[in-house]
Amino acid sequence: MKGRKRKITQVVILIGILLLGGYAVGTSLFKSDEKPKIGGRPPAFENVADVEGNLHSLADYRGRPVIINFWGTFCPPCVAEMPAIERQYQKYKDQGLVVLAINLSEDDITVRDFLKRFNLSYTILRDRNRMIERKYALRSYPTTFFIGRDGRILDIDTGGMTDEEIERYILRLLET
């Protein structure tokens, strides 16, 4: 009787340790860092204004291949790749391709005057107080996320891209 009671205590304690310990180790092992990863889902954003003031949410584009590109006028490689993105967008927009180019929380005049110099037809969104940028845990500019029709991140590119590189990504995107 005494022995059984002892055994039960032991089992309860060991299970308790196993559960708590497993939880502790598990959270450190599977800590997602909350930063978007290839194969994961992109952080959602809602009601972000474009340059005309129309509101966009990521959820609006569910089921379509989406390119999310972060850019700033102060970032030369960002500026350099914009015409290339535009060309590829023109080529593939009929197949449902969406480009959301999110500006890095710059002010109105800067963005407006900058865009005058280009003739961009894809959507430019305005981040504010780096809210979206933080969600995407950006480390360097430009960074581009390629999101497949399945709503998962197919690839992430940091640094400027050429026409060929963008096209290669888009072709992969369209396959999803």
Partner 1 sequence: MNWLSISSGAFLVAFVLYCAAFLFYVIAVIGRKWKNRDPQHHLRKWGRIAFICSSLGLAAHLAFFFTRWAGAGHIPTSNMYEFMTLLGMMIMIAFTVLYAIYRAPLLGMFALPLTILIIAYAAVFPSEVQPLVPSLQSNWLRLHVTGAALGEAFFAVGFAAGLMYLLRVTDYNDKSASARRSQFWLEFSLYVLVVVAGFIITVFAFRGAGYEATFLREELTIDAYGNEQWTRETIEYQMPPIVKPHGSEPVSVRPFLGLDRPLFEAPAWMQGVNAGRKFNTVIWSIISGTILYGLLRLAARRPLGAVIHPLLEGIDPEDLDEISYRAIAIGFPIFTLGALIFAMIWAEQAWGRFWGWDPKEVWALITWLFYSAYLHLRLSNGWHGLRSSWLSVIGFLIVMFTLIGVNLIIAGLHSYAGVS
Partner 2 sequence: MLENTKCECGHQNPPDTALCESCGKPLGTEALTDGPLEMRYDGVARRSQKSNPNLLDRIWSFFSSVKVAVVLIVITLIAAIFGTILPQENAFINFDPSWYEEHYGLAGKIYYMLGFSRTYESWWFITLLVMIGASLVICSLDRVVPLYRALNKQQVRKHIQFLTRQRVTYAADLEDDDAEWMRKLAEQFRKRRFRVRVEDNALLAEKNRFSRWGPYINHVGLIIFLLAVLARAIPGWQLDEYVGVREGEIAHIPETNYYVKNLDFEVEFYSDDELPERLKGTLRPKRFVTKAELYVCEANCGSTALEPVLRKVKEHDIVVNDPLEYKGLKLYQFDYDTTPRLKTIRPVLVDLKSGETYGPFELSILEPEPEYELGPYRLKLITRFLDFTVNADGVPGNKSSQPNAPAFLFLIEGPDLPEGGETFFYFPIPTDRERFGQDLINGELAERFDFRVTDMAHVEFLGDVSYLNVRVDRALPYIFAGAFISLIGLVMGFYWQHRRVWLRIDDGRLTLGAHTNKNWYGLRSEVAAALRSAGLEADPKSLDNGGKRR
Applying CB under 8 A, which of residues 28, 39, 52, 119 lies at the interface with partner 2?
28
- Enter the tokens of residue 15: 């299970």
Residue 10 interacting partner from partner 2, partner 1, none (CB closer than 5 to 8 Å by kind): partner 2
The interface partner of residue 59, options being partner 2, partner 1, none and the CB cut-off 5 to 8 Å by kind, is none
Phi and psi torsions of 60, nearest 5°: -60, -25
Pairing of strands 143-147, 66-71: antiparallel
DSSP annotation string for 131-160 = HHHHHTT--SSSEEEEE-TTSSEEEEEES-
Measured between alpha carbons, how far is 71 from 106 in angstroms, rounded to an integer?
A: 10
The residue from 44, 57, 74, 134 that contacts partner 1 (CB under 8 A) is 74
How distant is the alpha carbon of residue 12 from its chain centre? 44
Q: How far is the CB of 91 from partner 2 (least distance, A)?
A: 25
Residue 164 in the binding site for partner 2 (CB under 8 A): no
Tell me which of 43, 50, 51, 75 binds partner 1, using CB under 8 A. Answer: 75
* Euclidean distance between CA atoms 100 and 144, whole angstroms: 10
Query: For residue 3, how many other CB atoms are within 10 A of its CB?
Result: 7
Rg of the chain (C-alpha set): 23
Q: Which residues are 100's β-sheet partners?
A: 68, 123
Closer CB to partner 2, residue 105 or residue 157?
Answer: 105
Among 98, 99, 132, 153, binds partner 2 (CB under 8 A): 132
Cβ closest to partner 1, residue 140 vs residue 162: 140
Residue 47 binds partner 2 (CB under 8 A):
yes
Residues interacting with partner 2, by CB under 8 A? 6-7, 10-11, 13-14, 17, 20-21, 23-25, 27-29, 31, 45-49, 53, 55, 72-74, 76, 79, 104-110, 113, 116, 126-129, 131-132, 134, 139-140
